[in-house]
Structure 1
């Protein structure tokens, strides 16, 4: 178990993926400082190599330094995009496994969540600094603060017509569907058996969603779940000849043959209401006609 943060702790902001300026994360810096944290910026903030926050060597060095620094108690990825898979196999996690610290982010950072899950270490899937200034993120920021400082987290979600009732307990895993699909068969792949899986995605064609769900099912990622949470499927695209189903209907089709509880419409993903999820922690998902509840046990 990673120790909760305390006022005065040092927290690092860096980017393992797309480039970003200090100006874009100024709101996050101020918020984290208001929480009583000492904020340090990695060399990748402001760095540029084509679309990346510096070349692979710089992004790897930045992450490695923060992982190995005993005074840094949490690492927050500034933004997603693309790039973490390019460096993940070169990261040395030996020091991190001995003295773990919080890793925070979502989207492309699903790579880190999945890779670190295989060490038995918890991480936080949550809002990233690039989005702190966006309207409507107040609740998401508060859930991140509560997760970092070890305060209670429990979520209630409104009913959805596709929900399947039941109760499940298992370790919480998941994140971006596209990244989970990409990680299949790699060192960062995760075993989903007996776990509560959550999914979200952005800017995908509907047939891509179908193709990825077929792949997850064929690779055994869906059959052994304890439960499933379906979050935001934002800004989906369709072809001139329509696919014929939206993202939720596609997921329903590929999970309908199983019996575990399923919650749709969960506030996680590429929307302002992106609640913090503690990956790797044992959780309980309860789905009834009145809605769904997620709590840690």
Structure 2
């Protein structure tokens, strides 16, 4: 389900589905977005705090659904990532949200909501920057093109081809630490026939190894059309060196799969985060050690 295109003057709502955020970052990002021709409404819940969380599960779910039902709010931007967006999924009325499709933007911990929207409603959403980082985000034009009806390319010149091939399918995925919990907890095999994209940060390689093995044993890898690995930012290591590299891990857990697999795609928690529209049909090519990822359709309607 495509979402309506954004237009100059549209109001974008902000709420915090995960950890708490600093008001100064939200104000800087609001000023930036307003300088690009949009209006910004920051929901009061955005500044709530309960320990590390941005308020209670109830406060978060009411804020998100309240913004969703407002006709004057044309898109919703997650204020930040962190933790505990998974906890609000059971409280969301996806049927009501499907009746008013609108762009939802975020990444990291927000992976849970992006994929839940697709699994429950097939609605397109945008794996892109959280709002608090928007004032220092360098790929805004690429994201804005997606939101306004264009089909910009994702630069893949530095990608590493692990397994050659070609694939067509909708994009699903996001943060590996969060995505690993979604198969068999969201309705249907929403990942089946999809191009799965994964990134992560601040974790140990041994834990990534377990996460990939978990997805493999769930049958996720054998049911997807292709796999795109982004940046695994600031990998940690404590104790005895693990020895296996991320490339070793990816190769081991995708061995024997007849699908294209590429690494080093330009998205993640580091300096580069190109937006991947969840639910949009795309074409992945990995031939002659050259990779490309192109959208097969626009993300929006009414552009």
TM-score range, shorter chain: over 0.9
- Residue 107 of structure 1 corresponds to 108
Matched, 1:31 2:32: yes
Q: Distance in 1 between matches of 2:40 and 2:14?
A: 7
Moved more, 187-196 or 143-152: 187-196
C-alpha RMSD of the superposition: 1.6
SS at structure 2 position matched to 1:182: coil
- Cross-structure match for 2:301: none
Q: CA deviation at 1:290?
A: 5.2
Aligned to 2:166, the other structure's residue is in SS state strand
After superposition, what is the alpha-carbon deviation per residue over 1:217-268, rounded to whole angstroms, capped at 9, x for unaligned?
0000001221110001111112321211122321121012212111211011
Q: Hey, what does 2:72 align to over in structure 1?
A: 71
Q: Structure 1 stretch 177-186 or stretch 79-88: which is displaced more?
A: 177-186
Give a deviation string over 1:33-65, Cα, whole Å, max 9, x none: 122111000112222111111122211211110
Q: Is the 8 A contact 1:158 1:290 kept in 2?
A: no
In the alignment, what sits opposite 1:180?
179
* Alpha-carbon displacement from aligned partner over 1:74-102 (angstroms, at most 9, x marks no partner): 10001100111111101112331112001
Count, aligned residues:
294
Q: Give the direction of change, closer, same or farther, for the CA distance of 1:234–1:244 in structure 2 (3 Å limit).
A: same
1:272: how far off? 2.3
Q: Which blocks of at least 5 consecutive residues in structure 1 are unaligned? A: none
Aligned to 1:15: 16
| Distance in 1 of aligned mates of 2:128 and 2:142 | 8
Compared CA separation, residues 189 and 12, structure 1 to 2 (3 A): farther
Most deviating of 189-198 and 57-66: 189-198
TM-score under structure 1 length normalisation = 0.94
User: 5+ residue gaps in structure 2?
Assistant: 297-303
- Matching of residue 86 in structure 1 with residue 65 in structure 2: no
Note closer, same or farther for the CA distance 1:189–1:106 as it changes in structure 2 (3 Å cut): farther
State the distance in 1 between where 2:263 and 2:140 align. Answer: 22
CA contact (8 A) 1:201 1:233 kept: yes
Q: Tell me which residue corresponds to 2:143.
A: 144
TM-score, normalising length from structure 2? 0.92
